[in-house]
């Protein structure tokens, strides 16, 4: 990695920028496929599956027998690992299930929120070289905890129509309700509109290449929610003299091996560490099966020296990385300065791959600077929170006159009248109660 030394703040905008992708042409393709699938349903899905994936089965639905059989193709060790990951993801997402107390904002005015599951969710799991069964766990486990009724999964099959057994096993163990061998734009369109066999869902989750990303954009435009805008994966590592250069290099490479467009940034306040990490990168790179991909990614990467860790964190906040590793002294204390990041890994033993698979945190995280605004996927992503309010007579008296004058100022007289009628009713009750009292006294 090329080392940049102490770049001034005027250079940060450029250094924290991401490569731009032009989606305009892509959107034309996406819109055409969406239109076709909206009109022709399964028939169009089949056409595009044949065209893009060379897949020509009669049905997309993967039957239960096939899913059940997947377990026998996996080692006991892997099944146990999946079990542990599932348990930890479950524990952490369950901890996000909070009941909020009711708040009495004015006397007699009770307000509160309650969560309700989103009924039907769709999960997209990309195909390609790596069978991302961990993504199945990251999305289906919290969906199940949230109480989603339908958990639909689409993933592209290989040329023979097969899906990796680890994906099938993870889907089964995590509670996916229907699984379809469909990929790409056509999978997203099918879940957005619904077809004869693939159900329409309310919200679509999951990663994907630029086609899938563009398709999720379109799904959102046509009225189906999505988890978040997505892009190439990123890591930013901040390390000081307490770090382990071999660990840092391994973490940078785990990001770089994702794809040639992966974003890798390394910041340090120690020039020796920067050099040692670079040396370690060269050593470790040689032993990687995905060496070529990682090498390409590293070419676009940056190693930057800043005078102090505080400046490293300021730069990181400007960049807003998907993953941030703080391999520094007192990492928890330091983490308070972090304002923008998807997920933060604290200290030398907290490697990104821990969170990618089994620590329990979600690995579906905002990329491309979206961490400035978006949270990663959590239990909240699978529910909506409904507000409730209940006013009694006292509540009407407490806020009624304020509501009246505000509505009147906004020239919304029916809004005012709805309160005036209730105020009149409460006053009437009070008067009649008073007159009853008087009668009794007389």
Residues acting as catalytic residues: 322-323
* Residue 177 or 359 with smaller CB distance to its own copies: 359
> Nearer to its own copies by C-beta: 15 or 109?
109
Among 3, 4, 225, 427, binds its own copies (CB under 8 A): 225
Q: Which of residues 96-115 bind its own copies (CB under 8 A)?
A: 96, 98, 100-101, 103, 105-106, 109, 111, 113
Closest distance of CB 121 from its own copies, Å: 9
CA 120 to each of CA 124, 144, 202, 220: distance values in angstroms, whole numbers, following the listed order: 13, 11, 5, 15
CB 347 within 8 A of CB 324: no
Distances (CA, A) of 23 to 51, 188, 212, 221, 384: 21, 17, 11, 15, 30
- Report the alpha-carbon distance of residue 205 to residue 225 in Å, rounded: 9
Considering the complex, state which of residue 69 and residue 402 has its C-beta at the smaller distance from its own copies.
402
391 is a site residue for its own copies (CB under 8 A): yes
When asked if residue 209 is in the footprint of its own copies (CB under 8 A), the reply is: no
By C-beta, is 15 or 391 nearer to its own copies? 391
CB of 441 to its own copies, least distance (A): 29
Interface residue with its own copies among 2, 116, 271, 429 (CB under 8 A) is 116
**If binding is defined by CB under 8 A, does position 81 make contact with its own copies?**
yes
Selected from 129, 160, 196, 442, the binder of its own copies by CB under 8 A is 129
CB of 16 to its own copies, least distance (A): 14
Chosen residue from 210, 270, 284, 314 binding its own copies by CB under 8 A: 284
Kindly state whether residue 362 participates in binding its own copies, applying the rule CB under 8 A.
Answer: yes
Query: Closest distance between its own copies and the C-beta of residue 276, in Å?
Result: 14
And the tokens for 92? 């952490």
Nearer of residues 60 and 231 to its own copies, judged by Cβ: 231
E-strand stretches of 247-349: 263-268, 302-305, 323-327, 343-346
Q: Which one of 44-52, 57-65, 86-94, 138-146 is the stretch in contact with its own copies (CB under 8 A)?
A: 86-94
Query: What are the helix (H) ranges across 18-163?
Result: 24-40, 42-48, 64-70, 76-94, 133-146
Residue 135's φ and ψ, nearest 5 degrees, are -65, -35
**Which of 51, 59, 417, 432 touches its own copies by CB under 8 A?**
417
**Count of residues interacting with its own copies (CB under 8 A):** 130
Give the Cα separation of 422 and 118 in Å (integer).
35
The one among 145, 151, 294, 298 contacting its own copies by CB under 8 A: 294
Candidates 298, 315, 297; CA nearest to 306 is 315
183 near its own copies (CB under 8 A): no
- Among 92, 209, 260, 295, which residue sits at the site for its own copies (rule: CB under 8 A)? 92
Supply the minimum distance, in Å, between the C-beta of residue 400 and its own copies.
Answer: 8
Expressed in angstroms, the distance from the first to the final Cα of the chain is 96
Of the candidate residues 35, 39, 40, 84, the single one contacting its own copies (CB under 8 A): 84
Which residue, 63 or 147, has its beta carbon nearer to its own copies? 147
Q: Identify residues 315-354 at the interface with its own copies (CB under 8 A).
A: 331-332, 335, 338-354
Pairwise CA distance, residues 330 & 346, whole Å:
9
96 contact partners, CB below 8 Å, separation of at least 6: 378, 379, 380
Q: CB-hemisphere CA count at 13 Å for 155?
A: 30
The DSSP code sequence of 357-382 is: HTSSS------TTGGGTPPPP-GGGG
Answer whether 163's CB lies under 8 Å from 155's CB: yes
Binding piece for its own copies, criterion CB under 8 A, among 138-146, 189-197, 255-263, 267-275: 255-263
> What is the chain's alpha carbon radius of gyration, rounded to the nearest angstrom?
27
Is residue 356 within the footprint of its own copies (CB under 8 A)?
yes
Q: Which lies closer to its own copies via its Cβ, residue 88 or residue 195?
A: 88
């Amino acid at each position: 990695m090329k080392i940049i030394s102490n770049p001034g703040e005027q250079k940060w905008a450029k250094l924290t920028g991401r490569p731009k992708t032009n989606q305009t042409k892509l959107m034309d393709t996406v819109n055409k496929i969406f239109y076709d699938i909206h009109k022709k349903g399964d028939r169009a899905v089949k056409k595009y599956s044949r065209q893009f994936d060379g897949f020509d089965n009669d049905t997309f639905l993967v039957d239960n027998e096939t899913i059940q059989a997947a377990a026998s193709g996996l080692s006991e060790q892997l099944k146990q690992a999946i079990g542990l990951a599932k348990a930890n993801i479950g524990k952490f997402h369950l901890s996000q299930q909070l009941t909020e107390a009711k708040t009495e904002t004015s006397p007699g005015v009770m307000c509160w929120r309650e969560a309700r599951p989103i009924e039907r969710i769709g999960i997209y799991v990309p195909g390609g070289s790596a069978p991302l069964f961990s993504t199945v766990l990251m999305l289906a486990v919290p969906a199940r905890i949230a109480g989603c009724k339908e958990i639909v999964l689409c993933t592209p099959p290989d040329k023979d129509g097969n899906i990796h057994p680890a994906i099938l096993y993870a889907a089964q163990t995590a509670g996916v309700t229907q699984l379809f061998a469909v990929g790409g734009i056509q999978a997203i369109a099918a879940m957005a509109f619904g077809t004869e066999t693939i159900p329409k869902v309310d919200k679509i989750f999951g990663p994907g290449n630029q086609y899938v990303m563009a398709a999720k954009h379109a799904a959102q435009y046509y009225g189906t929610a999505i988890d978040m805008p997505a892009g190439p994966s990123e890591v930013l590592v901040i390390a000081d003299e307490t770090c382990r250069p071999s660990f840092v290099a391994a973490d940078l490479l785990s990001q770089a091996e994702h794809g040639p467009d992966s974003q890798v940034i390394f910041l340090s306040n120690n020039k020796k560490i920067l050099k040692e990490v670079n040396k370690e990168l060269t050593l470790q790179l040689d032993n990687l099966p995905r060496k070529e991909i990682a090498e390409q990614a590293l070419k676009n990467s940056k190693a930057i020296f800043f005078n102090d860790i505080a400046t490293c964190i300021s730069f990181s906040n400007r960049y807003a990385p998907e993953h941030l590793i703080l391999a520094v002294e007192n990492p928890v204390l330091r983490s308070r300065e972090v304002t923008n990041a998807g997920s933060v890994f604290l200290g030398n033993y907290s490697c990104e791959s821990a969170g990618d698979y089994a620590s329990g945190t979600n690995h579906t995280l905002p990329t491309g600077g979206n961490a400035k605004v978006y949270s990663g996927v959590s239990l909240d992503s699978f529910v909506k929170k409904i507000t409730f309010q209940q006013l009694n007579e006292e509540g009407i008296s407490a806020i009624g006159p304020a509501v009246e004058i505000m509505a009147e100022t906004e020239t919304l007289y029916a809004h005012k009248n709805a309160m005036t009628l209730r105020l009149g009713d409460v006053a009437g009750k009070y008067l009649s109660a008073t007159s009853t009292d008087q009668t009794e006294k007389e």
